Amino acid sequence: MTLPWLQEAKQSLCAARLADRVPHALLLHEDPGAGGLQLASWIAQLLLCRESARAPCGACPDCQWVRVRQHPDCQHIQPEGKSRQIVVDQVRDAVTELRLTGHSGRAKIAILAPAEALNANAANALLKTLEEPTPTTLLILVTTQPSRLLPTIRSRCLKLRVAAPARSDAVQWLTDARGAGPWDAALAALDTGPLALLEIDPAEIASTRREVLVHLCALHDQTLQPPAIAERWAKDELDLRLACTESWITDQIMIAASAIDDLPEMRREPQLSTGPRGLNIGLLLEFHDAVRELRSLMHTSINKSLAVESLLWRWAQVRTR
């Protein structure tokens, strides 16, 4: 799987390797769906490949073991089981392993993803390792939210930005990889890069998004009331519906704030009767925050029906307040 938008980052890493300037800790700041984990795996292959002159060859046993996460010198640390956190014991085990002599003799690598899942104790344990790096070790932290890492961790890592490709390039890439589909609508719905859509049916997302937009417009026009819609949302694909809501509100804020009369792709979508320009941008921003907050609570035991109903009442009032 070729990810052309990572090419520049790969070239700079190859140059760093040739100059023997690979750092001991890398922080990959990725856009969602941009391929941070894929780049981390490529870096591990670069350092562990046995075909040194053309590393990473992608074909030698070391490259293949890295790719299938079976290389003894490349650990993957992520939240385990139902936990949403990387805990201190995982970091301690990884650090112990990093100190052992490598199987390949080339490098010892640990990939932590998503790095923002490190809890406080785990982050502190990691910090000690970052302060006393050993010559052949490399820690790769992958995160979409570097601001959630300790500043002392961030400052000890070399930062590399992993940006998602432009929307049109992402559509093209997905079409090549998976065939035709409503990729533009699916990418817009989830506001993400292409890799997040590798195993998802884009038609289903596009159709859910359209239904969400119809509901939001109907609430805005008071032709539907929040309780009926809240019940439907809470029963089915609530996470996706909230993601669609957030990305669409972001678009409305952009329209309300920009000098452009209308973004071309918006014309095919359900429209607010008053138009975003008739809405108070402050209220849109407040509503946007409320959607984000509810999304962050989706894994907790809150009463989802009630929470989403209250959110939709709030949206209905954005018009009249």
Residues forming contacts to Zn ion in the complex (CB under 5 A) are 49, 51, 57, 60, 63
Q: How far is CA 99 from CA 66, 96, 319, in A?
A: 19, 5, 60
Do the beta carbons of residue 10 and residue 39 sit within 8 Å?
yes
Which secondary structure element, helix H or strand E, spans residue 290, and what is its range?
A: helix 281-296
CB nearer Zn ion, residue 59 or residue 298: 59
CB nearer Zn ion, residue 108 or residue 209: 108
Taking the complex as a whole, how short is the minimal distance between the CB of residue 133 and Zn ion, in angstroms?
Answer: 25
Q: Show the CA angle centred on residue 188, arms to residues 183 and 190, nearest 5°.
A: 100
CB nearer Zn ion, residue 65 or residue 173: 65
Query: Residue 151, preceding bond cis, omega within 30 degrees?
Result: no
CA distance 103 to 317: 63
Taking the complex as a whole, how short is the minimal distance between the CB of residue 38 and Zn ion, in angstroms?
Answer: 16
Q: Per residue in 219-232, is it b (16+ CB within 10 Å) or e — as a string?
A: bbeeebebeebbee
Taking the complex as a whole, how short is the minimal distance between the CB of residue 50 and Zn ion, in angstroms?
Answer: 6
CB nearer Zn ion, residue 60 or residue 253: 60
CB nearer Zn ion, residue 106 or residue 161: 106
Taking the complex as a whole, how short is the minimal distance between the CB of residue 54 and Zn ion, in angstroms?
Answer: 8
Q: How many C-beta atoms surround the C-beta of residue 199 within 10 A?
A: 7
Taking the complex as a whole, how short is the minimal distance between the CB of residue 53 and Zn ion, in angstroms?
Answer: 11
CA gyration radius, the chain: 23
Structure-token match 């201190």, residue found: 88
CB nearer Zn ion, residue 60 or residue 217: 60
Phi, psi of 292 (to 5 degrees): -60, -40
Taking the complex as a whole, how short is the minimal distance between the CB of residue 66 and Zn ion, in angstroms?
Answer: 9
